[in-house]
Amino acid sequence: MDKQQEFVLRSVEERDIRFIRLWFTDVLGVLKSVAIAPAELENAFEEGIGFDGSAIEGLTRVYEADMIAQPDPTTFQILPWQGDVRGAARMFCDIQTPEGEPSMADPRQVLKRALDKASALGFTFYTHPEIEFYLFEPLVPGKPPKPVDSAGYFDNVPRGAAHNFRRAAITTLESMGISVEFSHHEAGPGQNEIDLRYADALATADNIMTFKMAIKEVAIEQGVFASFMPKPLPDAPGSGMHTHMSLFEGDRNAFFEAGAPFQLSKVAKSFIAGLLKHAPEITAVTNQYVNSYKRLWGGAEAPSFVCWGSNNRSALVRVPIYKPGKGQSSRIEYRALDSAANPYLALAVILAAGLKGITEEYPLPEHAEDDVWELSPAERRALGYEPLPWSLADAINVMEKSELVAETLGEQVFQFLLRNKRSEWEGYRYQVTPYEIQRFLPVL
């Protein structure tokens, strides 16, 4: 029993924790939780907790259902939303096979492997996501979702519910060690954006998982419903997760080069080039649902075409304007990601694409100055701005041929995603939508 484990056991006793949630993430990025009683905790540290992996998306192949969740005591955290008296706490887990090997299907492992590759080249990968989501009134089955503020929620009790939600969300997140910047999004009714602070990619991914859970819980406490669905309302903007990123060599920002155009170093340029070249094949990971493509091709500021620009809000990769003296904050922003992606896998493939650009020394194409949406299709083709996949089916077909994605995810996760996403597409295509009924039934 090491000290950290003892600390956990002591805290559990002192804080009167009644049960402990063991957290891990399935291949689709859904947080999974196994609750155990404090009495089982010691055993959990020693031997891990066995669970039936076949019930979890993508985690195992059916015939080797037994998996072990090994809690990581350094991630012990009291869950603030369960009330102070009869508390609950959580720990993230590593997933292992019964033989004690790390599971190839553990998304955290996938990201760790990708980070190891960066590390072998001398890089650390830092990221900073801006997560958008919507607040709705509690859902009523069969009724369209109502955003909280368009429903006059804010009007009736001026600054009431929204204000309370923000305050509660910030308190909750900070009590879990996640410091955030909160901004209300004007663009969509009920839409919010929260920025997580710059951190290394693994911490970012962990934080995103915790963040989503916390936001959902706070929303419930506040009597509203939070959703990270990429495009919940047809006429309002979708929820993206623009992610700023940079590579560091030791304590030096490897993206910065004083005096170069846009202050971009060779490393940064190759990284962007890699990201652009491989963007179509990683899209099924960064935008993994049928619904994702309704945001991606929903106009407005959606980054539908593969190009980059400095401060160009229609570009897929944006290079924020450099502020003099801030060499360490040089970064690029990838704008395709949406809030429903599995952060572990998404960051892994983004990193792999960028690194490929660096190792293969891809040349960076010209930057885009125009608003790409304003151009005619012929102009875009002439300028070489390829479109991103325009549907999940399209994205799957591109990904299937991608050596990069297969190697980054590992064969097992790669095959699972292909299978799972194909079946999602099948299920979607099978629908006869209200749109069709409304539009065609009367006339055909």
Partner 1 sequence: MASRQAPTAALLRKVGVSDPAQAIEALTAVEGICGTTVVEVPESLAGVADPDLAIGQLLRLAESARDQGLLDSLSALAGAEARLAALLGGSSALGDFLVLHPEVLSVLVDGGIDDIAAGARAGLLQAVGADPEAACPVASLTGTEGIDALRVEYRRRIVRIAAEDLAAANPLQVFPRVSEALADLAQAALEAGLALARADEPRHVETRLAIIAMGKCGARELNYVSDVDVVYVAEPAEGVEDAQSIAIATRLVHATVRACDRASAEPALWVVDANLRPEGKDGALVRNVESHRAYYERWAHTWEFQALLKARPVAGDIEVGRAYMDAVSPMVWTASQREGFIEEAQAMRRRVEENVPTAEAEWQIKLGPGGLRDVEFTIQLLQLVHGRTDESLRVAPTLQALGVLRDKGYVGRPQASRMDEAYRQLRVWEHRVQLDRMRRTHLVPNTEEGLRRLARASGFPEVEGFLEAWHEIRRDVRAMHLEMFYRPLLPVLARLSAGEVALDPEAARERLASIGYLDPDAAQRHIAALTEGVSRRALIQRQLLPAMIGWFANGAEPDTGLLAFRTLSEHLGDVSWYLKLLRDSAVAAERLARLLSTSPYVTQSLLASAEDVTWLDSDEDLAPRALDRLTEEADAILSRADAPDQAIASLRGLRRRELARTAAADVLTRLDTVEAACTVTHVADVVIEGALRVAMAEQARAGGSERLPFRLAVVALGRYGGMEMSYPSDADVMFVYEADDEADRVEADRQAQQVAAEVRRLLQAAGQHPPLETDADLRPEGKNGPLARSLASCAEYYGKWSEPWEAQALLRARPVAGDPGLCERFVELIDPVRYPEALTEAALKQMRTLKARMESERLPRGIDPKRHVKLGPGGLSDVEWTVQLLQMRHAKDVKGLRTTLTLEALNAAVRAKVLDRKDATVLEEAWRLATRVRGAMALRGYPKDKTNILPHDARELRALTAILGEDWSASELDDRYSRAARRARSVMERVFYGWENKEAG
Query: Closer CB to partner 1, residue 18 or residue 422?
Result: 422
Does residue 150 interact with partner 1 by CB under 8 A? no
Query: Closer CB to partner 1, residue 214 or residue 393?
Result: 393
**Minimum distance between the CB of residue 331 and partner 1, rounded to whole angstroms?**
27
Query: Closer CB to partner 1, residue 45 or residue 362?
Result: 45
Alpha-carbon dihedral sign for residues 260, 313, 132, 34: negative
Query: Closer CB to partner 1, residue 2 or residue 186?
Result: 2
Among residue numbers 49 through 68, which ones bind partner 1 (CB under 8 A)? 61, 63-64
Does residue 251 interact with partner 1 by CB under 8 A? no
Does residue 101 interact with partner 1 by CB under 8 A? yes
Does residue 118 interact with partner 1 by CB under 8 A? no
Does residue 143 interact with partner 1 by CB under 8 A? no
Site stretch for partner 1 (CB under 8 A), options 2-10, 158-166, 355-363, 377-385: 2-10
Query: Closer CB to partner 1, residue 216 or residue 422?
Result: 422
Does residue 199 interact with partner 1 by CB under 8 A? no
Among residue numbers 375 through 394, which ones bind partner 1 (CB under 8 A)? 393-394
Site stretch for partner 1 (CB under 8 A), options 36-44, 199-207, 350-358, 414-422: 414-422
Does residue 48 interact with partner 1 by CB under 8 A? no
**Minimum distance between the CB of residue 427 and partner 1, rounded to whole angstroms?**
11
SS3 string, the chain, reads: CCHHHHHHHHHHHHCCEEEEEEEEECCCCCEEEEEECHHHHHHHHHHCEEEEHHHCCCCCCHHHCEEEEEECHHHCEEEHHHCCCCEEEEEEEEEECCCCCECCCCHHHHHHHHHHHHHHCCCEEEEEEEEEEEEECCCCCCCCCCECCCCCHHHHCCCCHHHHHHHHHHHHHHHCCCCEEEEECCCCCCEEEEEECCEEHHHHHHHHHHHHHHHHHHHHHCCCEEECCCCCCCCCCCCEEEEEEEEEECCEECCECCCCHHHECHHHHHHHHHHHHHHHHHHHHHCCCCCHHHHHCCCCCCCCEECEEECCCCCCEEECCCCCCCHHHCCEEECCCECCCCHHHHHHHHHHHHHHHHHCCCCCCCCCCCCHHHCCHHHHHHHCCEECCCCHHHHHHHHHCCHHHHHHHCHHHHHHHHHHHHHHHHHHHHCCCHHHHHHHCCCC
Query: Closer CB to partner 1, residue 82 or residue 415?
Result: 415
Does residue 167 interact with partner 1 by CB under 8 A? no
**Minimum distance between the CB of residue 84 and partner 1, rounded to whole angstroms?**
29
Does residue 415 interact with partner 1 by CB under 8 A? yes
**∠188-192-195 over CA atoms, to 5°?**
135
How many angstroms separate the CA atoms of 345 and 77, rounded?
Answer: 24
**Minimum distance between the CB of residue 166 and partner 1, rounded to whole angstroms?**
38
- Candidates 19, 15, 13, 47; CA nearest to 35 is 19
Does residue 13 interact with partner 1 by CB under 8 A? no
**Minimum distance between the CB of residue 97 and partner 1, rounded to whole angstroms?**
6
**Per-residue x/- marks for partner 1, 293-332, CB under 8 A?**
----------------------------------------
**Minimum distance between the CB of residue 27 and partner 1, rounded to whole angstroms?**
15
**Contact 254/267 with Cβ under 8 angstroms?**
yes
Which one of 301, 407, 420, 428 is in contact with partner 1 (CB under 8 A)? 407
Does residue 20 interact with partner 1 by CB under 8 A? no
Backbone angles phi, psi at 164, to 5 degrees: -60, -40
Query: Closer CB to partner 1, residue 149 or residue 394?
Result: 394
Which one of 78, 412, 420, 428 is in contact with partner 1 (CB under 8 A)? 412
Burial class of residue 361 (count of CB atoms within 10 Å of its CB; 0-12, 13-18, 19+): exposed
Compute CA distances 118 → 56, 343, 359, whole Å. Answer: 29, 17, 11
**Minimum distance between the CB of residue 2 and partner 1, rounded to whole angstroms?**
5
**Minimum distance between the CB of residue 343 and partner 1, rounded to whole angstroms?**
23
**Per-residue x/- marks for partner 1, 418-437, CB under 8 A?**
----x--xx-----------
Does residue 148 interact with partner 1 by CB under 8 A? no
Does residue 194 interact with partner 1 by CB under 8 A? no
Binding residues (CB under 8 A) for partner 1: these are 2-4, 61, 63-64, 97-99, 101, 104, 393-394, 396-397, 400-401, 403, 406-407, 410-412, 414-415, 422, 425-426
